[in-house]
């Protein structure tokens, strides 16, 4: 896919092409593409005079960056001890049944991506998942499927508008 870099260039200009702004630059780029594409990393490398390996080092060190496409709705399921004991395996199974997703993957239509994480810091609400920053707790398989169906319905309605 041939990519146009106007938006990337706007971000670079906004931050003055300064190395100390690399994390901010990468975060804004990821907001546009939902991940950090290789060709964009190479463009940033050339524009900023930073070796691509250095940019990859930053992108792989910080958990908020992804080198693989993420869905419009990023689902994170906690599998820490409290969540695991309270039923996170059933939450993951319900997500797979509803979307076909397993951890670390994205749906073909880029609607959903799923990550299994060690702890989300909401143990009192176990089991927990977060979708685009919104926390859902005390989950059951049925609740998970209902949440995902509502998101799908909302997307269908907005597509028909």
- The annotation status of 123 as a binding-site residue, yes or no, is yes
Cβ–Cβ under 8 Å, residues 21 and 34: no
**What percent of the chain has a predicted confidence (pLDDT) above 90?**
83
Supply the pLDDT for residue 64.
79
d(CA 29, CA 43): 12
Supply the pLDDT for residue 159.
85
- The annotation status of 52 as a binding-site residue, yes or no, is no
d(CA 17, CA 19): 7
d(CA 146, CA 153): 10
Across the strands, what pairs with 89?
Answer: none
pTM given for the model: 0.74
The answer to whether residue 100 scores a pLDDT higher than 80 is yes
User: Residue 160's pLDDT band (boundaries 50, 70, 90)?
Assistant: confident
Q: 1 versus 68: which is more confidently predicted?
A: 68
- The annotation status of 119 as a binding-site residue, yes or no, is yes
- The annotation status of 14 as a binding-site residue, yes or no, is no
**What percent of the chain has a predicted confidence (pLDDT) above 70?**
99
Q: 160 versus 15: which is more confidently predicted?
A: 15
d(CA 68, CA 40): 13
């Amino acid at each position: 896919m041939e990519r146009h870099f106007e938006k990337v260039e706007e971000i670079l200009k906004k931050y003055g092409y300064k190395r100390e702004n690399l994390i901010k630059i990468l975060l804004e780029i990821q907001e546009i593409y939902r991940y950090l594409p290789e060709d964009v990393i190479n463009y940033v490398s050339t524009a900023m005079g930073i070796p691509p390996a250095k940019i990859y080092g930053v992108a792989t060190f910080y958990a908020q960056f992804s080198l693989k496409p993420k869905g419009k709705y990023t689902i994170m399921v906690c599998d820490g001890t409290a969540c695991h004991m309270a039923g996170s395996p059933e939450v993951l199974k319900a997500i797979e049944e509803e979307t076909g997703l397993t951890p670390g993957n994205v749906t073909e239509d880029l609607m959903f991506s799923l990550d299994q994480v060690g702890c989300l810091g909401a143990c009192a609400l176990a089991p927990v998942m977060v979708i685009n920053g919104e926390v859902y707790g005390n989950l059951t398989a049925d609740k998970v499927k209902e949440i995902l169906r509502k998101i799908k319905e909302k997307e269908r309605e907005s597509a028909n508008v």
